[in-house]
Structure formats: C-alpha cells, structure tokens
A and B are shown apart, each in its own frame.
Chain A
Amino acid sequence: MRARKSLGKHEQPRAILNSLRCCLLLSLAVLVLSGCGETEPPPEPPPATTRERVVIGIIPEQNIFRQIERYEILTHHLSEVTGIDVETKMLPRYGNLIDNFTFAGLDGAFFGSFTYALAHERLGVSVLARPINLDGRSTYHGMILVRADSGIEGVEQMRGRRFVFVDKATTAGYLLPLDYFITHGVRDYESYFGETYFAGTHEDAIYDVVNRKADMGAAKNTVFDRLVAVDQELRTELKILARSPEVPENALALKRDVDPAVTQRLLAGLLEMHTDPRGHEVLQSFGALRFIETSDEDYRPVLEYAAQVGLDLSTYDYLND
C-alpha cells in the first residue's frame, strides 16, 4: 500500500492529561504552602445551554479515519459560526446512509450523488449545498481504472479477472462500471469476471488496482486526483478506460422536518464560510474553495444516468451483499 498523508492531531486526550497534570501540581502546591485541609466540594457545573443539534452522516468516500478528520474540522467550524451543535456519524458503507436515516436518527448527511438520488427518492431529503473543489469544479466523474501494464484495453481483456467496485450506492464506483459493462455487452458481470468485490472506499478501490489485489476498478476522479497529489506515479501506473458523466460533488442534504431556521443557518454558514479567514483555512483543509447552493435539478444527470443503466431507484437494492 502507498504512503498516506498523516492524520491531524486530536486535542481532547492531550487536554485531559494536561488538566490532570495541572490538578496534581496545584494539589501539591496547596499541600506545600498551606498544609493538608478539608477538601473543597467540587464546583457545580455551569448550566447547560440549550442549543440546536443536528447529526450529519458521513459516507466512506476515503479511508474512514481520514474522512472523520476531514469532516470534523468542517463541522466543528460550522458549529462555531452557526451556534448549532453539528455532530457527525461515520458510516461503514454508502448504503448504510439510507438505513441510518431510519434507525440512527440522522438529520442529514453529506451524500454522494447517487446516494442522494436514492435518499431523495426514498426519504424525501432536500439538498442544500456542495463544495467547489480546489480545481474549481463542483462536480466529479467516475473512472474505470486498470494498471497501465495490465494489457487490458476493454471488456474483452477483463473476462475472468478481478474487478473492484466501491459500493452499490455510488455513481463512480458502481453506476459507471455497470453502464460500461452493459454498453459493452456484459449483462451479468458476476459470471463474466473471475471475482468482484466492494472495497467500500474509492481510495481502497484505486490502491487495490495499484497493489494488484484487483485487475480493474472504478472510483471517482476527485479521490484519484487527491492521491495523485501525494503520489505522482499513480498517474502513470494506472490507465483510465472509461469516464462517467459529470455529477454533483458530495453535498449536504437535510431531512425536510429539520427546523427551517436551522437549515437556513447551516446553509448560510456553508455558503459564507469562504468569506472569513478561519473559514478559508477550514475549506483549504477540507479540500474546497467554497460551498455553493445546490438543488435537485443539479442531480438530473445522475437520474438520467441511472435510467440509462436501467435502475429503478424506488426498488433498487443498494446493499452490497
């Protein structure tokens, strides 16, 4: 596996240890200076303030631990500027997003394009905003990747080989290859390939192809570009066989029963984030220039693509197994 960039620091345990040390030193100073005495009762905790709270689901677009860090920085800043406690809930799979709206009490999520199409159809969520990436684009496309030295030029060379998808609920990681297979006459890919499996993240799908754990794979270009930025050799080691249409980048969508005032504050927080220096830093760390307002109309290419593949979103089985 290739080198990955290091994770950011988490301050909470360190702060606990520092507080413990300060308490020990303070206790010692009190003992030395004034001798032992009766212990003071602990101070009463400050009264809790009533703040709005929303729980946002995060899909495993990349390594789940890096994904947690990436979104925690964003939601923490959003909490500060909006006064709303924005909590995140990392999900192991794209498809879990749909289930967790029902079982885990999510108020919204940063949906992938296809998962939003599914959620909109089944849960009635409304999209608010999506980021413009550092390359100035607010869309992404899927790519079918093979190793450059694999000799694979089309589906003919793929027969009997291993194909790694990302998730059945992704445009780039599943819809694109499905369309590619159908277009090239492969109706039953499970019997056509020697092995197919779901890596769960775009990042793992790409690295599995690079590390020869799979022969072909599908992933989104934005994750690929992010990995290339760290390891330039990836661009020469891999070859792109096909691309999907451009679809909206992962966007924040909330349930319709969320307080409209909260929805508006979150939307304003996202749209205005790039206007203050701290927000700009957060966006840079997140990998975006700014957020733009997004509507259901922006997802028309996804819906058309799904229809082209022949998927009925109301009945589509998005589970990987």
Chain B
Amino acid sequence: MKRRIIIGLTVYAVIFTLGGLYLLRVINFATERLDRLVQLHQVEILREHYLLKIRRVQSDLTLEGTRHERGFETMVSHAVVMRNLVDTCFTCHHEEEVLDRIRQLRWQTQLYQDALSRVLTMRANEARLAEEQNAAFLVGEELISQVGEMIALTGTKLESATQDSLQEINDTRFALYMLVGIAPLFSVVLGYIFVASLTSPVKVLLGSTRKLKAGDLDHRVPELTHEFGELADAFNEMAASLKEQMHEMQRTEQLAVVGELAAGLGHEIKNPLAGIKVAMDVLGTEAYLSDEDREVVKRVSHEITRLEVLMRSFLDFARPAKPRFESVSINTVINTTLALYSGRHRRAGDLSPPIEVQKELSSLPRTAADSIQLQQVFLNLVINAVEVMPDGGTLTVRSSLEQASGDVIVVTVGDTGKGIAPEHLDSIFQPFFTTKPKGTGLGLPTCRQLVEQHGGTITVTENPGGGTVFSVRLPVRAVIQDGVS
C-alpha cells in the first residue's frame, strides 16, 4: 500500500509537472506569436509612419520660401526623424532581399536629405533656388514612390503572416482550453481510482468486523492484496482464535455447571453410601449368614468402597483444594513419590509386573508449590505409566531446569508401554475420558487442574523409544507473604 501511495503521488507529480511544462510552453509559444504579430504590425505602422514623415517633409519643402513656411528647425527635425525611421527598419528585417530594399530606401533618403540641405542653406537667384527646390521635390517623390511600392509589395505578405500568426494563436488557445478542461477531469478520475483502491478494502474489513460483532464467528475476510491482505489474515486469525476461545469458554461453563450439579449430587450420595456400607459391614458379621450370602454382602461392601473412591475423586476434581504454597524442592517431591510407588509395588508382591525405574534428577532451585498436590500429580502419572506397562517396562523420571524465558522446572514421566492413539491425544485431559476399563477419567484432568493452579502446564508426547512421555512445566517462583511472587 505504501508503494501504491508513493506510485500514486509520483504519477500525480509527474502529471502536474508535465502539465505545468506544457502550459509554460504554450504560454511561451503564444507570447512569441504575439510578439511576432506585434512586430509585424509595428513594421506596418513604421512604414506608414515613414511614408507620412516623407510626405510631411515634402510639404515643408513645398511651403519653403512662402509665407507659410514652417521654418528651418521644423524642417530639419522632420527630415532627421524620417532618416531615423528608415534606420529603425534595420533592427526588424534580416532577410537579404528585404535588407537590400531598405538599403535602397536609406540611400534614397540620404539623397533627399542632401537635396534638402542644399535648399535650406543655399542663397541664390530665384531660378536657381526654384531649380534646387524642384530637384529636392522630385527626389522626395521618388522616395515616396519607392516606399509606396514596398508597402504594396509587402502588404500581402504582412497580411498573410498576420493571419498565420492569428491562426497559430487560435490553435494554441484551443490546446490550452483542452488542457484546462481535460486535466481536472483526468485528475478527478485518477483520484477516484486511487481513493477507491484505498477505501474498498477498508469497507470490506469494516463489514467483516460488523459481522463478527453480530456473532458470525465463521465469517472470514475475503482475499485482499498488499497490506490489507496482511490485515485480513490477522483478522481471520483473530476470528478463528475468538471462535476457539468462545467454544472453550462454553465448554468450561458447561463443565462448571455439570461439576456443580455432580458435586452436589455426589455429596448427597456419599452420606447414604456410608450408611449402606456400615449396614453391609454389620450384616456381614451376622452369624446366621451362609458363606455364600456373606460373600455377596462382602462384594456389595467392596463395590460401595469403590463408589466412595470414585465420589472422592470426582469431588476433588469438581472442588479442587486451594494450594498451600511453601518453598519446595521438586526433586524431594519426586523422590517421595517414587518411594510411595515402591512401597505399593512391594506390597503387590510377585503379581506386579517387572518395572525398571530410571531416575535422572538435575539440580533444581526451590520453588513455591504445594508439595502434597504435586506429589498427587507425580504419583498419578507414575501409576498411569506402570498401568500401561502390564508386561513390564521402563519408567523414566527426569527433572531439569530451563532458562530460556525465565526459570522453568521441567519434570517428565515416561513409559515404554503401548502409547496413546493419536486421535486420543487431544482428549486425554478431558474429564471422564478414559481408555482403562475401570478408570474414572478424572486422573489426568485433575493433574492438569493442579498443575495449572501452580501456573504451570502439562503436555503429553510420544516417547521416541515407544510409549508416552508426560511433561510437567512449573515456573520457579519465590514464596512471599500470602502468596507467591
């Protein structure tokens, strides 16, 4: 878009520059033509003026010696102006043919001045004076004839040149009018195209925003170009993210509602169950019961116990306990967990699968955490790992410290079991999802809930050597009064 704006402005600048140059050229052209026209008419006026001056001097000459004579100074002044006029012609003409004619005129004018000078200075008898005056008059008439002839000869040429100049000026004026008329129109069209190319994508984005605001989260901005294309991609990403978060929020709200209902229900069930279990235990001690009935009562009591465990797990998930933060060594929690697992494993005796435990613990800083809850998380992961290896395998527990973006403690629990099907990877942290015949589907969701209460995350990946690896990431935080930093 920036490029388009620069190109647009450059095009405008070039157009206006070219237009300005053309206008200057047209004005210059018209000025030259008018200059030429003025010159042509000056020439015409000059020649007429010249002829007029000659006639005036002839008149002076005719009146010389009469009582109406105009005087020496007047006559000399007229003759000088007459001569100056013919000299002026040399500043206008440059063609050799015309110059020759003007030279001839100047020569004739000089002869006329010579004759006039004689008339003005001579003192002689009347006959001689009359002869000189007549000679001067004839020279003057010849000069008038030559000038008249030149005016006649060049009159047509002057007229033609005048018409040509006027035609050229008219053509120039037409071109100027066209330019003045077309240039703004062209500018408006160009400006409209340019502005439209800017406002059209904005309108599309504005429409999409309004659709999104109206709740159409599936709407996506159609493909746009340049920076608007990038903006559209960002907009679409935002819409997709918004839709996902909206779904997540809806799911969370649903779970919360279900959880509240289930928790209430579970609480209501727990007490009667306790009563039933007590009753069953008392009934099982009755002597009149046959062994077969006693076994049935014992089985009922066992199922009630299982229901109680299930209800406790469900209540733990629905109403998780608030963590009690204290300075904890994660490695200590891991060791405690593994010790608990080992104790349970030993009690299982020979029926337990042969599990090899590999422990790789790095030196870790202490962090603010609830050791009981973390122990519950790690124990859950260890038990799950062991359960997916019914024929035995290797349990790997590692701890490490990442310092890429703040200190983060990473604890991984890996197994070499059959692994998790890819289609189940996204579901294993959802409540009540389980692949185990007797699983509650609340173990891993509870783990995630507890880890998230510590500001951490839990993820699952495939173990390169087969099996699954769960990773718990916990930020290193210090304990402060009434909370963590």
Residues of A within 8 A of B (CB): 1, 4, 6-7, 9-10, 12-14, 17-18, 20-21, 24-25, 28-29, 32-33, 60, 63-65, 68, 90, 92-93, 195, 197-201, 204, 320-321
**Would you give the shortest CB distance from A55 to chain B, in whole angstroms?**
13
Assembly CA distance A308 to B31 (angstroms):
73
CB contact under 8 A between A63 and B42, given known A4-B110, A28-B34: no
**Would you give the shortest CB distance from B175 to chain A, in whole angstroms?**
14
**Would you give the shortest CB distance from B350 to chain A, in whole angstroms?**
114
Assembly CA distance A201 to B115 (angstroms):
12
Q: Mark B114-148, 1 if CB is under 8 A from A, else 0.
A: 10111011111100100000000000000000000
B30 at the A/B interface (Cβ < 8 Å)? yes
**Would you give the shortest CB distance from A175 to chain B, in whole angstroms?**
17
Across the interface, do A201 and B121 meet the contact criterion of CB distance under 8 Å? yes
* Contacting residues, chain A, for B85 (C-beta < 8 A): 13
In the complex, number of A-B residue pairs with CB atoms less than 8 Å apart: 105
**Would you give the shortest CB distance from B19 to chain A, in whole angstroms?**
15
CB contact under 8 A between A64 and B42, given known A10-B84, A197-B122, A198-B124: no
B176 to chain A: closest residue by CB: A32
CB contact under 8 A between A64 and B34, given known A14-B87, A21-B42: no
**Would you give the shortest CB distance from A283 to chain B, in whole angstroms?**
23
B81 at the A/B interface (Cβ < 8 Å)? yes
| Contact residue among A10, A24, A25, A204 (Cβ-Cβ distance under 8 Å from B122) | A204
* Contacting residues, chain B, for A33 (C-beta < 8 A): 27
| Contact residue among B121, B124, B128 (Cβ-Cβ distance under 8 Å from A60) | B121
CB contact under 8 A between A1 and B114, given known A32-B30, A197-B128: yes
**Would you give the shortest CB distance from A119 to chain B, in whole angstroms?**
19
B163 at the A/B interface (Cβ < 8 Å)? no
Main DSSP-derived SS at the B contact region: helix
**Would you give the shortest CB distance from B202 to chain A, in whole angstroms?**
41
* Contacting residues, chain B, for A197 (C-beta < 8 A): 122-125, 128
20 pairs of residues in contact across A and B, judged by CB atoms under 8 Å: A7-B83, A7-B87, A9-B84, A14-B88, A17-B46, A21-B38, A25-B31, A60-B117, A64-B120, A65-B80, A65-B114, A65-B117, A68-B76, A90-B76, A195-B125, A197-B124, A197-B125, A200-B120, A200-B121, A320-B123
* Contacting residues, chain B, for A65 (C-beta < 8 A): 76, 79-80, 83, 113-114, 116-117
* Contacting residues, chain B, for A14 (C-beta < 8 A): 84, 87-88, 91
A94 to chain B: closest residue by CB: B121
* Contacting residues, chain B, for A63 (C-beta < 8 A): 113-114, 117
Across the interface, do A198 and B123 meet the contact criterion of CB distance under 8 Å? yes
Known: A4-B114, A10-B80, A17-B88; 9 extra A-B contacts, CB below 8 A, are A7-B113, A13-B81, A14-B87, A14-B91, A32-B30, A63-B117, A64-B117, A200-B123, A320-B123
Residues of B within 8 A of A (CB): 27, 30-31, 34-35, 38-39, 42, 46, 72-73, 76, 79-81, 83-85, 87-88, 90-91, 106-107, 110-111, 113-114, 116-118, 120-125, 128
CB contact under 8 A between A25 and B123, given known A6-B110, A64-B117: no
* Contacting residues, chain B, for A321 (C-beta < 8 A): 123
Assembly CA distance A320 to B121 (angstroms):
11
**Would you give the shortest CB distance from B109 to chain A, in whole angstroms?**
9
* Contacting residues, chain B, for A13 (C-beta < 8 A): 81, 84-85, 88
In the complex, the 9 A-B pairs of residues with the closest C-beta atoms, listed nearest first: A200-B121, A197-B124, A10-B84, A320-B123, A198-B123, A14-B88, A63-B117, A65-B113, A64-B117
Across the interface, do B83 and A10 meet the contact criterion of CB distance under 8 Å? yes
Across the interface, do B38 and A92 meet the contact criterion of CB distance under 8 Å? no
Across the interface, do A17 and B42 meet the contact criterion of CB distance under 8 Å? yes
**Would you give the shortest CB distance from A63 to chain B, in whole angstroms?**
5
B71 to chain A: closest residue by CB: A92
**Would you give the shortest CB distance from B400 to chain A, in whole angstroms?**
83
* Contacting residues, chain B, for A198 (C-beta < 8 A): 122-124
B30 to chain A: closest residue by CB: A32
* Contacting residues, chain B, for A7 (C-beta < 8 A): 83, 87, 110, 113
Assembly CA distance A60 to B125 (angstroms):
20
**Would you give the shortest CB distance from B18 to chain A, in whole angstroms?**
19
* Contacting residues, chain B, for A64 (C-beta < 8 A): 76, 117, 120-121
CB contact under 8 A between A28 and B121, given known A4-B110, A9-B87, A17-B88: no
Assembly CA distance A132 to B72 (angstroms):
31
B106 to chain A: closest residue by CB: A6
**Would you give the shortest CB distance from B76 to chain A, in whole angstroms?**
6
B132 to chain A: closest residue by CB: A213
Assembly CA distance A118 to B103 (angstroms):
43
**Would you give the shortest CB distance from B122 to chain A, in whole angstroms?**
5
Assembly CA distance A1 to B118 (angstroms):
12
* Contacting residues, chain A, for B87 (C-beta < 8 A): 7, 9-10, 14
**Would you give the shortest CB distance from B445 to chain A, in whole angstroms?**
85
A199 to chain B: closest residue by CB: B122
Across the interface, do B35 and A25 meet the contact criterion of CB distance under 8 Å? yes
**Would you give the shortest CB distance from A5 to chain B, in whole angstroms?**
9
B139 to chain A: closest residue by CB: A1
Assembly CA distance A199 to B116 (angstroms):
12
Across the interface, do A200 and B27 meet the contact criterion of CB distance under 8 Å? no
B129 to chain A: closest residue by CB: A197
| Contact residue among A6, A12, A25 (Cβ-Cβ distance under 8 Å from B34) | A25
* Contacting residues, chain B, for A200 (C-beta < 8 A): 117-118, 120-123
**Would you give the shortest CB distance from B116 to chain A, in whole angstroms?**
8
Assembly CA distance A14 to B85 (angstroms):
8
* Contacting residues, chain A, for B79 (C-beta < 8 A): 65
* Contacting residues, chain A, for B124 (C-beta < 8 A): 195, 197-198
Across the interface, do A92 and B42 meet the contact criterion of CB distance under 8 Å? no
**Would you give the shortest CB distance from B260 to chain A, in whole angstroms?**
85
**Would you give the shortest CB distance from A199 to chain B, in whole angstroms?**
6
* Contacting residues, chain A, for B39 (C-beta < 8 A): 21
A319 to chain B: closest residue by CB: B123
* Contacting residues, chain B, for A17 (C-beta < 8 A): 42, 46, 88
* Contacting residues, chain A, for B46 (C-beta < 8 A): 17
Assembly CA distance A321 to B125 (angstroms):
10
